[in-house]
Amino acid sequence: MDKPYVMHGWHLSYFSGKTRAYLRYKGVPFEDRPVDALTLMWKIPRKTGAAVMPVVVTPQGEWLQDTTDIAEAIEQRFPEAPVTPSTPRQRVAALLLEAWADEWWIPPAMHYRWIYPENYKLFQADSGDGLLPWFPRAVKNRLAAYVADKMRSYLPAVGVIPEQRAVMERWTEDMLDALEKHFAVLPFLFGTRPSVADFGLIGPMYGHLGRDPWPKKHLVEPRPHLKAWIERMNQPQVRGGEFLPDDAIPETLQPLLDAVFREFYPMVEGIRDEVRAALKQKPARSRLPRALGTIEFPMGQGRFRRAAMPYTLWMMQRVLDAYGALDAAGRGRVDAWTAAQGVPQAMQLDIGVRLKRVGLHVKAER
């Protein structure tokens, strides 16, 4: 290989943490390059259609965008120690948890970053240095403030509003307690090898909760097993470890799976209903907005409201596709598992339309 892969991303970034940890585990030779303003606002949109991070550039000059698609492309080139389990129950459970980590955890991650002001100095320094590496600090700070205001403007759409703070913080601490108990028993979610679920979860746990000063001090530091897992994910044993034998799902994952089936699924169904309504008003194959109408669903002991994001439905489609690709025996094993969870029809979820990803958006394939 004449030159390495290049990952454009920030340590602040929710999804960059996922891709960085994945590339390290797979042993991919790569350059970890902070995204500057020119790359973010011109090069990346020109190559991928969206101003996003992370983006991975291959030695052949391909620009890969979206963490799930990046991982699928890299798996083809580096097939040793695959991160998606091959056995049916673990495979579906891991993909479900990846989708949950990618999509459900965005409001808590944004809440803890932007509600606690002691986090701002780190954001200001990292984003300013990343975007304008050669500029004076005053100019960097002005641009960082603009970006921060832009990010804060998204908070109401994802449900980060004062009246939902208590339910979200209680839910987050309960989930972190469950993760602490799990990582006291196993080094990763499904054994001694990280899975797609681990890589999904490291996004919020590293970029937001594990680095920002307030959540790092109050949420991660008091949970030493969770903290150790974050460190393992960022300094993994390259292509090491195994998934649990006999397609086993650890009992310590039950609180997470309860959240998937009792909370995430109702959110997905709400998004599906919003997408169906939107498609009645749009021409065939047109791109859906990033956000649709407000939906409500359970969160812990309360309820939560936020805008419906069609992209989440595309992530769920990937899970259903993986289930559909199993043979009859494999589907039977998954169905028996979901029945034991009290949701026997979980894999028969009808999302109503076939979706295609287009940058940060999705559109119906009709």
Q: Is the pLDDT of residue 35 over 70?
A: yes
Q: What is the DSSP letter of 184?
A: T
Task: Tell me what the mean pLDDT of segment 216-234 comes to.
Answer: 98
Task: Tell me what the mean pLDDT of segment 249-268 comes to.
Answer: 98
pLDDT tens-place string over residues 289-333? 999 999 999 999 999 999 999 999 999 999 999 999 999 999 999
Contact 260, 103 (CB under 8 A): no
- What the block records as the tokens of 330 is 């494999």
Q: How confident is the model at residue 366 (pLDDT cuts 50, 70, 90)?
A: low
Q: How confident is the model at residue 284 (pLDDT cuts 50, 70, 90)?
A: low
What is the model's pLDDT at position 2? 72
Q: Which residues of 97-134 are buried (b: 16+ CB within 10 A; e: fewer)?
A: bbbbbbbbbbbbbbbbbbbeeebbebbbebbbbbbbee
Q: How confident is the model at residue 1 (pLDDT cuts 50, 70, 90)?
A: low
What is the model's pLDDT at position 96? 98
List, in order of start, the domains of the chain with CATH numbers.
5-77 (3.40.30.10), 88-113+160-252 (1.20.1050.10), 253-364 (no CATH)
Q: Is the pLDDT of residue 360 over 90?
A: no
Contact 111, 165 (CB under 8 A): yes
What is the model's pLDDT at position 359? 86
Task: Tell me what the mean pLDDT of segment 209-235 comes to.
Answer: 98
CA nearest to 148, candidates 114, 109, 115: 114
Contact 30, 77 (CB under 8 A): no
Q: Which residues of 12-42 are buried (b: 16+ CB within 10 A; e: fewer)?
A: bbbbbbbbbbbbbbbebebebebbbeebbee
Task: State how far the Cα of 241 lies from the Cα of 127, in Å rounded to an integer.
Answer: 35
Is 308 strand, coil or helix? coil
Task: State how far the Cα of 156 lies from the Cα of 153, in Å rounded to an integer.
Answer: 7
- What the block records as the tokens of 272 is 């599906």
CA nearest to 189, candidates 319, 101, 76, 315: 101
CA nearest to 194, candidates 105, 90, 264: 90
Task: State how far the Cα of 346 lies from the Cα of 207, in Å rounded to an integer.
Answer: 31
pLDDT tens-place string over residues 92-149? 999 999 999 999 999 999 999 999 999 999 999 999 999 999 999 999 999 999 999 9
Q: What is the DSSP letter of 162?
A: G
Task: Tell me what the mean pLDDT of segment 193-198 comes to.
Answer: 98
49 Rama sector, left if φ>0, alpha if ψ -120 to 50, beta otherwise: left
Q: How confident is the model at residue 286 (pLDDT cuts 50, 70, 90)?
A: confident
pTM for this predicted structure = 0.96
* Radius of gyration over every alpha carbon of the chain, rounded to an integer in angstroms: 20
Span of 63-72, 135-144, 280-289, 337-346 with lowest mean pLDDT:
280-289
Question: For 6, how many CA atoms within 13 A lie in the half-sphere containing its CB?
Answer: 14
Q: What is the dihedral of CA 95, 32, 361, 85, to 10 degrees?
A: -10
CB count within 10 Å of CB 334 equals: 21
Q: Is the pLDDT of residue 352 over 90?
A: no
Task: State how far the Cα of 325 lies from the Cα of 352, in Å rounded to an integer.
Answer: 19
